[in-house]
Amino acid sequence: MIRTKDMTSGNHVKLILIFALPILAGNMLQQLYSLVDSLIIGRLLGVTALTAVSASGWLDWAVLSVPMGLAQGYSIHAAQCYGGKRFADLKRSVAQSYLISIAATIFLEFASQFLLHPVLVWMNSPDETIRMTENYLRIIYAGLPVVMCVNIFSGFLHALGNSRVPLIALACATTVNIVLDWWFVGSLGMGTNGGAYATVLAQIVSAVICFRAVLKIPQLKPEKKDYRPDKKVIRKLVRLGFPIAFQNLIISLGGLILQGVVNAFGFVFMAGYNAAARFQGLIEIAGTALGNAAGTFTGQNFGAGKMDRVREGLRRSAQIGFLLAVSIGLIMVFFGKPLLSLFIREEAGVSDQVMGFGYDFLRIMAAGLPMLYLLFIYRTTLQGLGDTVVPMVSGFVELALRIGAALLLPTVIGYWGVYLAEIAAWIGAGCFLIIGCYRRLKLTG
């Protein structure tokens, strides 16, 4: 029997932490196999190959974040239905989510493959890396249906308070990914493409495990009638999921423009910046886990009409998030150089400069981490309340500040302006979300 968790009663902090810890462990595993990709590619294939894979980050996120956003919308509705004990509505919501996802996946697959090369050219991708980056991403994009499945199934499990099965799925996927990385890249000599194939195959493992768990939960098993297109439910799911997906696209657009500015500073700066950027996902994981827990807690309690629990859960989550961010930031400041050295192979005249640029960026990220963690918590709380519009608008704020700072600051302070563009985006979007969240709570009563 697959366990679910009702979060509408019990100690706030205990519920949030117990739910967040498996997500945190899962996020760590996810980042582990991303870092293993980088470690193997950087050590075996050199700085150029590592830069090519690292430069794919924002383009990877731009496409794959759409299914993530849609699935998060489905999860919000599922959590509200589950918290309110509306199980018939939950089954219908699951079925309609599948229908929307099939259409979205077909569209995204064709669009991403068609637009990939023109976008890489627009981003000023260096001649040394553009072909490797393009080939790597075409394989990753081919796995888009699998990514959609992973996010939908794990999202439904999270909505019902089960963060254990997604953790097990990620643990298995990480193991498969690491083994295949060494085999494809190291033994078979498949280059950067081997890392992409390993990632897609590992995601298939994760999808299968989560799907089998979903099948064992009666509340998530739609009946035949639930698959008839229901315009009302589809509108509700699209209203929840589309703003999150669109928000992710907006953030990605800012990242792509920022990557273009980075590329214009030359190959060595690009290599250092991107090497440090591979750590960004790692230092964010505690914040995203806590944010996911806060969102599920909010969704279930909002569905049950328990607003006092929503407010107390938000307050406790923000306190925990701030302390975590300060602690992780200090670790990155003191141990950033040894960590970066794991990924940068000694190459005459290059590695020291790459290390210097990378460590500077790590220190800047560490300074902005408390605001980033608060951003995650307040954004998911708003989403748990059913408000996906304010988080979407915050994406525009993030876009404007990231682009504005990236284009203006380097003219005044050089490459440091590129680093500060990321922090400016976090601060602006975070402040907007905090104000929006408290206004929403005041209006909700």
CA separation for the pair 389, 387 (Å, rounded)? 6
Tokens of 137: 């991403």
pLDDT score for 348: 43
Contact 153, 213 (CB under 8 A): yes
Question: Is 123:259 a contact under the CB 8 Å cutoff?
Answer: yes
Helix, strand, coil share (%) of the chain residues, nearest 5: 85, 0, 15
- Give the separation between CA 199 and CA 213, rounded to whole angstroms: 22
pTM of the predicted structure, to 2 decimals: 0.71
Whether the CA torsion 219, 222, 225, 227 is positive or negative: it is positive
Question: pLDDT tens digits, residue range 391-409?
Answer: 888 888 888 888 888 888 8
Q: What is the pLDDT of residue 199?
A: 87
pLDDT, residue 113, reads 92
Provide the H-helix boundaries in 184-306: 192-215, 231-264, 267-277, 280-303
Residues in CB range of 445: below 8 A, 6 or more apart: 307
Q: Say what the pLDDT of residue 351 is.
A: 67
Neighbours of 185 (CB within 10 A): 24
Quote the tokens at residue 373: 């963690």
Give the whole-angstrom CA distance, residue 354 versus residue 336. Answer: 13
Whether the CB-CB separation of 396 and 250 falls below 8 Å is answered with yes
pLDDT at 326: 93
Task: Return the pLDDT at 343.
Answer: 63
Range with top average pLDDT, 72-76, 236-240, 433-437: 433-437
Q: Yes or no: say if 153 and 8 are a contact pair by the CB < 8 Å rule.
A: no
Greater model confidence, 186 or 393: 393
The per-residue pLDDT for 87 is 86
Residue among 308, 444, 417, 425 at smallest CA distance from 368: 425
What are the structural domain ranges in the chain? 12-444
Q: What is the pLDDT of residue 345?
A: 58
Residue-wise pLDDT tens digits, 308-350: 888 998 999 999 999 989 998 898 888 877 877 766 655 545 6
Query: Which region among 235-239, 356-360, 430-434 has the lowest average model confidence (pLDDT)?
Result: 356-360
pLDDT given for residue 349 in this prediction: 55
